[in-house]
């Protein structure tokens, strides 16, 4: 029932987790080496330009993804042994993403025309390149056919090929556009890598599909898209709201701490969910009791990892502030507030994606959606009160309150339903 059975019953998935953790670690090392350098040479103000633009492009990325990384992944995982069905789902999803990419480009222009955000316009346009690259990354396909490790390989190769150029080309605040361009080109490199792999291995190909098939994929993803949109209220939107009330320097400090915290969280959570979500989805249809048992085991795996992440943030944050210098005064306290967030992010991720989406049906999709809609109201209400009063500390406190709310709501839904038994 414990870790021994987790290993013996799921050797391929556990190996994938270790493989993905190693790759996530590699993917994390490159930005971790570059991030402090950028924070120091660009200064808090110019780093704030990048932080704001990344937050805005995260919203545009959300529009393009539209929840396909969960809905299309599950549908492909179920029919992975039928190439024609895989090609049909892949093609319909691809065409939908291209339409949404065009829509996101229009939204980008509208954001850049807001007078308050004019100072961020150039970095916004440069970082939109990353949205284009991610549109061709096909995470939903690789995860559905059990080849998700290659997405991480592509990201690792691209990061280590491009990010070291930061130390050569970025020497001061005047080089902020070069820094933004290098960040954006990473996703383009990763996308080219996965495109070549998909073509050479014949994992999927584009086939003619009607508009009805495209609408079907979008309809399947709609509840997840709404959930993701609500989630981004308290991830990307927090930086946007802080930018309205505070100077770019504070946006830079908050964005730097938030990026480090999320990178550590995702290094633990993403490999587990990417490796096991397709398997739990398949088992839910054929061996439900085994799928539930596996999901319950994964709670303890993720919980252990997140406790280590929280401890690292809590005790390491003040040292990071001291090392960065006077431009980043207050980041040590931000780290200590954010140190409690990983616990709720990890548990919420397992409860939501495995117990409600992978194990659940349409009613559970609605519960997943409603949880994040409720959380977005909590996030907006709290951040609009706390940020004007307490600045970036209030923004961080609002994030903690929101993630706690999401975790508790998911836990209540799972306990009341049949997915935990």
Per-residue confidence (pLDDT) for residue 105, from 0 to 100: 93
Per-residue confidence (pLDDT) for residue 323, from 0 to 100: 66
d(CA 198, CA 196): 6
Residue 81 DSSP one-character state = T
Per-residue confidence (pLDDT) for residue 120, from 0 to 100: 85
Per-residue confidence (pLDDT) for residue 4, from 0 to 100: 56
Per-residue confidence (pLDDT) for residue 293, from 0 to 100: 87
Per-residue confidence (pLDDT) for residue 417, from 0 to 100: 67
Per-residue confidence (pLDDT) for residue 294, from 0 to 100: 86
Q: What residue segments make up the domains of the chain, in order of their start?
A: 3-416
Token pair listed for 161: 């090929």
Per-residue confidence (pLDDT) for residue 239, from 0 to 100: 77
3-state DSSP assignment of residue 196: helix
Over residues 128-172, the pLDDT tens digits come to 999 999 899 888 888 888 787 788 788 778 877 877 788 889 888
The per-residue DSSP string of 145-186 comes to: TT-THHHHHHHHHHHHHHTTHHHHH--SGGGHHHHHHHHHHH
Q: Which of 266, 289, 291, 293 is nearest to 279 (CA)?
A: 291
First to last CA, the chain: 15
Q: Which of 369, 350, 368, 370 is nearest to 420 (CA)?
A: 350
Enumerate residue ranges in the chain where pLDDT < 70.
1-32, 227-236, 323-327, 417-421
Q: Which of 240, 54, 69, 36 is nearest to 129 (CA)?
A: 54
Structure-token match 């414990």, residue found: 2
Token pair listed for 209: 């599909």
Token pair listed for 141: 């396909």
Burial of residue 326, with CB atoms counted within 10 A of its CB: 0-12 exposed, 13-18 middle, 19 or more buried:
exposed
Torsion sign (Cα): 97, 100, 106, 107: negative
Over residues 3-29, the pLDDT tens digits come to 555 555 555 656 666 655 555 555 555
d(CA 284, CA 329): 49
Per-residue confidence (pLDDT) for residue 1, from 0 to 100: 45
Per-residue confidence (pLDDT) for residue 401, from 0 to 100: 94
The answer to whether 251 and 51 are in contact (CB under 8 A) is: yes
Q: Which of 165, 166, 157, 125 is nearest to 35 (CA)?
A: 166
Per-residue confidence (pLDDT) for residue 257, from 0 to 100: 85
């Amino acid at each position: 029932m414990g870790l021994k059975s987790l290993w013996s019953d799921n050797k391929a998935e556990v190996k994938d987790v270790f493989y993905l953790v190693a790759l996530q670690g590699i993917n994390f090392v490159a930005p971790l080496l570059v991030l402090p350098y950028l924070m120091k040479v660009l200064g808090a103000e110019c780093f704030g330009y990048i932080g704001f633009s990344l937050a805005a492009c995260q919203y545009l990325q959300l529009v393009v993804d539209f929840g396909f990384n969960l809905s299309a992944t599950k549908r492909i995982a179920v029919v992975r042994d039928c190439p024609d069905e895989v090609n049909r789902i892949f093609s319909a999803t691809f065409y939908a993403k291209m339409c949404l990419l065009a829509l996101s480009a229009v939204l980008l222009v509208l954001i850049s025309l807001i007078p308050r955000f004019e100072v961020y316009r150039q970095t916004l346009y440069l970082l939109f390149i990353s949205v284009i690259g991610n549109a061709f990354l096909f995470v939903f396909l690789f995860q559905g056919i059990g080849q998700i490790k290659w997405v991480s390989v592509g990201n690792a190769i691209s990061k280590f090929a491009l990010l070291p150029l930061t130390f050569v080309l970025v020497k001061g605040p005047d080089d902020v556009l070069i820094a933004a361009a290098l960040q954006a080109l990473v996703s383009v490199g990763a996308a080219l890598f996965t495109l070549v792999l998909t073509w050479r291995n014949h994992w999927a190909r584009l086939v003619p599909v009607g508009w009805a098939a495209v609408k079907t994929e979008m309809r399947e993803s709609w509840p997840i898209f709404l959930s993701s949109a609500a989630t981004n209220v308290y991830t990307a939107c927090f930086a946007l709201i802080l930018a309205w009330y505070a100077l770019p320097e504070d946006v830079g400090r908050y964005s730097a701490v938030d990026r480090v915290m999320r990178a550590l969280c995702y290094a633990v959570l993403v490999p587990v969910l990417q490796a096991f979500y397709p398997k739990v989805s398949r088992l839910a249809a054929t061996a439900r009791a085994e799928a539930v048992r596996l999901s319950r085991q994964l709670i303890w795996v993720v919980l252990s990892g997140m406790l280590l992440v929280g401890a690292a943030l809590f005790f390491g944050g003040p040292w990071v502030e001291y090392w960065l210098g006077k431009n980043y005064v207050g980041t040590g306290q931000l780290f200590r507030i954010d140190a409690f967030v990983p616990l709720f992010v990890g548990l919420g991720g397992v409860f939501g994606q495995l117990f409600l989406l992978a194990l659940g049906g349409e009613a559970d999709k609605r519960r997943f959606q409603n949880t994040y809609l409720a959380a977005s109201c909590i996030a907006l209400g709290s951040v609009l009160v706390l940020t004007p009063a307490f600045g970036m500390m209030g923004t961080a406190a609002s994030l903690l309150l929101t993630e706690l709310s999401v975790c508790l709501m998911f836990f209540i839904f799972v306990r009341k339903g049949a997915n935990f038994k």
